[in-house]
Chain A
Amino acid sequence: MASVTLDKVNKVFGHTPIIKDVDLDIGDGEFVVFVGPSGCGKSTLLRLIAGLESISDGELSIAGQVVNDLPPRERGVGMVFQSYALYPHMTVYENMAFGLKLAKTAKETIHERVMATARILQLEELLERKPKALSGGQRQRVAMGRAMAREPRILLFDEPLSNLDASLRVQMRNEIARLHQRLGSTMIYVTHDQVEAMTLADKIVVLNAGRVEQVGTPHELYQRPATRFVAGFIGSPTMNFLPATLVTGNDAGCRVRAAGIGELALPQDTAQQVAGEALTLGVRPEHLRLAEAAGDNAFEIVNVEYLGNEVYVYLEPKAGETLLIHRSEAPSPWRVGQKVALVPDPEQVHLFDAGDRALGVATARAVA
């Protein structure tokens, strides 16, 4: 168990900067999830922490000690690879014991540790099998067991569930969460699945093109995304964005006009903005209300998806290509072809400036 601190960490492959000035504080025993789109540098960041890649610039400390130049084995980390990376010719038992034998651990200790880990992960029945005779989920557990058996201070996971089917994924997600509660070790978990991130994390780090976009609890990220990128990345289905212009505003609130919606009074502080400035309105699908309407301002329903417990209604946007989404509990009265007006809940509307940064809610209200 240990804390991890990144201070202006950079990674350059050839001449391409991949990780840019990442600052991060990971507390002892925390479960931190890195999320971001494919290619944003999640794995690279994890490999930097593991020591599989060298840091180009900046400082990485584990438990207060700078580890930039320490080889992986001296960092006290365990890693679960996306591809499991099991030794194909060894049995489950040997896979788990292999990393222990080196530490000159006594034979009985090795055996006890392997058996204890196997018990936690329910691998006892499988100890004599080779990896090829295991299912994806079982291999996954062996990979975790191998990393855990060494009792590392920090456990790193690189998209461990990406090869599993949906139901197994949910099951393994729960097992990992329970494991964290039981072991209490620091865990860093990479995924591009925001549901995994939301459900597992104490703290989510949203990465975009090698930079940290925002760090926060799942709740903070959902409620107060700092940028349009985070707003679009967290939450499913994704947030609706509508172009808008500022009509009037000050540090206590504002009025904006959005195509198809008309004028809205919002609580955001727009003291830094000037009237007429182009903004982006963001509303989550679950925070929209639909009302029957007609005329120019109405949106047409182009598709209705029924999911059993809920219904997604897709609307033709006034600008751009992306369909707007409305989400409500089933049953839903809406049908394809109907014309509707959008009625957003002002308390749940996000406002982004021209630089895609979120505008804060006026202080008086933020406290409330």
Chain B
Amino acid sequence: MTTTTPSAPTRARPYRGTKVRRQRVRAAWTFLAPMLVALALVAGWPLLRTFYFSLTDGTLSTLGDASFIGLENYLVYDDGAWYGLLTDPMWWRSVWNTLFFAVVSVSLEVVFGVIVALILNVEFRGRMLVRAAVLIPWAIPTIVSAKMWAWMLNDQFGIINHLLMTLGIIDAPIAWTASATYSMWAVILVDVWKTIPFVALLALAALQMLPKDCYEAAEVDGIHPVRVFFKVTLPLITPALMVAVIFRLLDALRVFDVIYVLTSNASSTMTMSIYARQQLVEFQDVGYGSAASTLLFLIIALATVAYLYLGRNRLQLGGD
């Protein structure tokens, strides 16, 4: 007769030490190692170097003999006044611009992306064609589409001004990308135009996973379609939207190309990336530029952590 005693013998064996488990751990590290090495080389090393440079007074031409100056690039008290990145109004303006751009453009992208996805989710003739067509803005390289829009938004020859004037909406051409009032909205417009397909595609995938029968149940129960959208569809696609938002947010917080092509270094649209590039490349101030880059990294990391923390329940919903 074999009776298993749940006490001493079984518990005595150290769980961690089983052979199978050790093998699994080894296999896991074997598979992870190449990825970790690659990440360390292409992400970890540059990050560390940037952080190091931010603590020096290096310039593009004197990188070799840059000397360590501590946190002076960030903040320094000198002669009764504070200096450094943290006191630069232009830097804070860039931070604000970046956050504004990120929040507004990502919000608009999600709203319009979901609307486009809802349209694409309806059965109609030529749906496949429309689906492919919707992807075009996403497929065009940002530089190309930004250049394209720059021409269309051109104050003298641009088709946008031409159209608006023909329709009688405006009297005089507007310098969309040069005016301090409109340039931020112009870059948001272009970014939204370009990224709606991405959000729409993710939302569409989520929509197609939705249980059809729930909608029939709602129909029989006589629930208004708008209510069904907000109470059933939206909660069910939220996990997918959360993923779309995090991708987009990370992208938007380090936005560079769209804005650089459309408005160059204009202060009304200057973002953290553009600010850092200007310091590093134009002013050749590697130390100061690296400090900006380091802060940029910290802000993005902070935003991501905050987002993941706030959205943890919603994201978990998707893990079911």
- A interface list, Cβ under 8 A from B: 50-52, 71-74, 77-79, 81, 83-89, 98-99, 102-103, 132, 146, 150
Contacts and interface: CB of A to CB of B under 8 A. Distances in A.
A102 B320 CA distance: 28
B220 A102 contact: no
Given A85-B213, A87-B214, A89-B317, A51 B221 contact: no
A52 B221 contact: no
B222 A72 contact: yes
Given A99-B221, A102-B224, 17 more contacts: A72-B220, A73-B219, A74-B222, A79-B220, A81-B213, A83-B213, A85-B214, A86-B214, A87-B214, A88-B214, A88-B320, A89-B235, A98-B218, A98-B231, A99-B222, A132-B320, A146-B217
Contacts of A51: 219-220
- Find the residue from B211, B214, B232 having the highest chain A CB count within 10 A: B214
Contacts of A98: 218, 221, 223, 231
Contacts of A150: 221
Given A79-B217, A132-B320, A89 B222 contact: no
Nearest to B231: A98
A104 to B, nearest CB: 11
Contact of A85 (B211, B231, B317): B211
B68 to A, nearest CB: 55
B91 to A, nearest CB: 43
Contact of A81 (B216, B224, B236, B317): B216
A98 B231 CA distance: 9
B220 A50 contact: yes
Contacts of A88: 211, 214, 236, 320
A235 to B, nearest CB: 33
Contacts of A86: 214
B227 interface: yes
Given A81-B213, A85-B213, A132-B320, A102 B232 contact: no
Contacts of A78: 220-221
A201 to B, nearest CB: 23
B216 A102 contact: no
A52 B216 contact: yes
B219 to A, nearest CB: 5
Interface in B101-142: none
A78 B220 CA distance: 7
10 contacts: A52-B220, A72-B222, A79-B217, A85-B214, A87-B214, A98-B221, A98-B231, A102-B221, A102-B222, A150-B221
